[in-house]
Amino acid sequence: MSRFKRASKDDEIEVATVVTDTAGPATEELTTTQTTEDVKRSAFANAIKKFGGYINAEYKKEIAVVHELEDLGKIIVNSYVPMPEAFKDSTELKGFPLGVISCIYGKPDTGKSSLLMEGIKGCIDSMIIPVLILTEHKFAYDRLAAMGVDLMPIVVVVESIEQGYDVIIKMLRDLQQNKLKYKDADGKEQIIDMTDNRCYFLWDSIGNVMSQAEMDSETEDWQKGMMKTAKALRVLTRKVSMLLNKVREKTGILFLNQSYVNSTPQGIQIEVPTGGDAIPYSSALVLRTRRRKRLDMIQNGKDVDIGLETIIETVKNHITNRKLTASVFTVATGIIPATKEALEAYKKTLR
């Protein structure tokens, strides 16, 4: 229990915590001093929590959330698609978070696909159904097998942005019912119970597909077509973000995107994702990949390319608020730590 004693100063209160031992008399363990303002602030903090409870009671559901100060600005994530230790060490994240949109962008040949493949492997290992949306019409399925993946993802090939988003939006809506209903080739109704199942969308890559409006544009209206694609991305990504929030424990989305260098009016060159900022803006996690150097070794007297050193830069992070920059090695079997020891161990497997 606690007792309060007025100190010599009117604006201070001595707070002593008394610990009662059943084997003996009460002993005073700790004494601290609080100002009158501290007491008022504590009461005010309690009033905030009660006010949130009042709003939720009125609406019969939790629409008001009271955060602790240390969690301010963070998004609560309960599940992840697990990733290798090298990724965890570089980002201080367990993997790709469920319940939010994540984005990886970078120039070609910087390790983006390796991260995506590790995501697919993590899905399979954790029994999360991977749904791979392809717009580049090329994917190294044999490399997935080399990484130890024994089950392939569901592959959806789309021709436009709208078609890809249609797949995601329909499934997000159906997931709210925890049951996916459809008719098979024989016309029989099938039901997939998603109560204990999860899925994860991986799109490779969003920047390499046009909107239907852009594809229908004439050559002279090309610039207008690109603007329509950017608008489609903004509207559709916003809709997906709202739907995803309703099935946070069931699924998540990872967009891969190409990037290009753009010059500002001041002449400064910056790297930006293709298609504008719609997806990074709606993402809780944005990673940028860069290539530091090629990795090679001598095999049979020849210099052989065996991978590359990828720099992973955390551009945006609403999960832990930590923004880090670190390297990993991306090789045929996946991602390994960017250390001499890890590289030598990998080279031994190739000899």
Q: What is the 3-state secondary structure (H, E, C) of 12-26?
A: EEEEEEEECCCCCCC
**How many C-beta neighbours within 10 Å does residue 345 have?**
12
Residue found under tokens 């309960």: 78
pLDDT at 64: 75
What does residue 331 show for φ and ψ, rounded to 5 degrees? -130, 180
Residues of the chain with pLDDT under 50: 1-8, 15-23, 26-28
Which pTM does this prediction carry?
A: 0.80
- The DSSP H or E segment spanning 172 is helix 161-175
pLDDT at 41: 87
Q: Report pLDDT digits (tens) over 159-197.
A: 889 999 999 999 999 999 998 888 988 999 999 999 999
Query: Parallel, antiparallel, or unpaired for β 128-134 and 154-157?
Result: parallel
User: Which candidate, 285, 316, 259, places its Cα nearest to that of 111?
Assistant: 259
pLDDT at 299: 87
Token pair recorded at residue 288: 């940028």
Contact 246, 65 (CB under 8 A): no
Q: Residue 341, exposed/middle/buried by CB under 10 A (0-12, 13-18, 19+)?
A: exposed
Q: What is the rounded distance in angstroms from the CA atom of residue 251 to the CA atom of residue 25?
A: 56
User: What would you report as the CA-atom Rg of the chain, rounded to the nearest whole angstrom?
Assistant: 26
Whether the CA torsion 20, 21, 26, 30 is positive or negative: it is negative
